[in-house]
């Protein structure tokens, strides 16, 4: 992975703002590749599949911060609740309540991002803007604050349209940043601080539009089959 190591170092250098966290998306990659980046000092890794994430976590260093970045089903939360660092794709109140339940069983507080649907594709998951503002109102200014003791909503996540038009991508990221700022204004406690948007193909635009976290796989690990 020598070439990949150099690509990784170059990418870190490109992400000059220190407030931007790089989540290395390690799905389908062997534990050995994760270990090589770990030895370079990297700690944030993202996985899309629960079983794969669990299998890798068992044989990896304990101080890795595991990010679950895929679509999470409620019946799978219990498998990652003992160790997951951040769940990126919370797209329903039902899922948020289940994460709280499983976190309580493990005597943990699990941090979560609310996923917002900003893309043109209907296949993308996430809250609409109205749904997002409604759930933020519930989380921060209603009885849910008393009920959700083991989850902490710390930000938003969104995925732009799969398009070759950079201006469309920029428009969607810009809109998500506006929603992020509005959510920060709504909160009672200052917990909203992560804006996760941008992947290998559009992370530079995301950073320009205010991302504090990007999820990058192929630029770090190389292309997947």
Q: Where are the alpha helices (DSSP H) in 20-123?
A: 31-39, 50-58, 77-80, 93-105
Write out the H or E segment, with its range, that includes residue 181. helix 166-186
What does the pLDDT read at residue 145? 64
Rounded Cα gap, residues 202 and 190, in angstroms: 28
Long-range contacts of 30-37 (CB under 8 A, 24+ apart): 31/56, 31/59, 31/60, 33/1, 33/4, 33/221, 34/60, 34/64, 35/60, 35/61, 36/1, 36/4, 36/5, 37/5, 37/8, 37/220
Output the six-digit token pair for 207: 């950073």
R_g of the chain, CA atoms, integer Å: 17
Contact between residue 196 and residue 213 where contact means Cβ atoms under 8 Å apart: yes
What does the pLDDT read at residue 49? 96
What does the pLDDT read at residue 95? 95
What does the pLDDT read at residue 214? 94
What does the pLDDT read at residue 200? 87
Cβ-in-10-Å burial (0-12, 13-18, 19+) of 110 comes to buried
Domains, in order of start, for the chain: 2-221 (3.20.20.10)
Q: Any residues with CB less than 8 A from the CB of 135 and at least 6 apart, and which?
A: 93, 96, 114, 127
DSSP structure string for 183-195: HHHH-SSS---EE
Output the six-digit token pair for 46: 């993202």
What does the pLDDT read at residue 40? 83
DSSP state of 60: S
pLDDT along the chain (225 residues), means of 10: 57 64 92 90 94 97 96 97 97 93 96 91 78 83 72 93 92 96 79 92 93 89 71
E strand map for the chain: 21-25, 44-47, 65-68, 86-90, 110-116, 151-158, 194-197, 213-216
Q: What angle do CA 119, 111, 155 make, to 5 degrees?
A: 40
Pairing of strands 44-47, 65-68: parallel
| pTM reported for the whole predicted model | 0.90
What does the pLDDT read at residue 194? 96
What does the pLDDT read at residue 4? 53
């Amino acid at each position: 992975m020598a070439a990949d190591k150099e690509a990784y170092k170059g990418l870190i250098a490109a992400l000059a703002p220190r407030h931007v966290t790089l989540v290395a998306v390690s799905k389908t990659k062997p534990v050995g590749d994760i270990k090589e980046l770990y030895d370079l000092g990297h700690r944030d890794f993202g996985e899309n599949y629960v079983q794969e994430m669990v299998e890798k976590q068992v044989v990896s260093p304990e101080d890795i911060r595991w990010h679950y970045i895929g679509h999470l089903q409620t019946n799978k939360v219990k498998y990652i609740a003992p160790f997951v660092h951040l769940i990126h794709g919370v797209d329903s109140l039902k899922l948020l309540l289940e994460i709280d339940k499983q976190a309580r069983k493990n005597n943990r507080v699990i941090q979560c991002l609310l996923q917002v649907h900003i893309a043109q594709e209907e296949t993308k998951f996430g809250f609409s803007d109205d749904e997002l503002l409604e759930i933020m109102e519930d989380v921060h200014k209603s009885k849910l604050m008393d009920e959700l003791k083991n989850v902490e909503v710390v930000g938003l996540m969104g995925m732009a349209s799969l398009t070759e038009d950079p201006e469309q991508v920029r428009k969607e990221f810009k809109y998500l940043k506006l929603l992020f700022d509005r959510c920060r204004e709504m909160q009672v406690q200052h917990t909203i601080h992560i804006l996760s948007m941008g992947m290998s193909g559009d992370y530079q635009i995301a950073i320009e539009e205010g991302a504090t976290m990007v999820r990058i796989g192929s630029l770090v690990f190389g292309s997947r089959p």
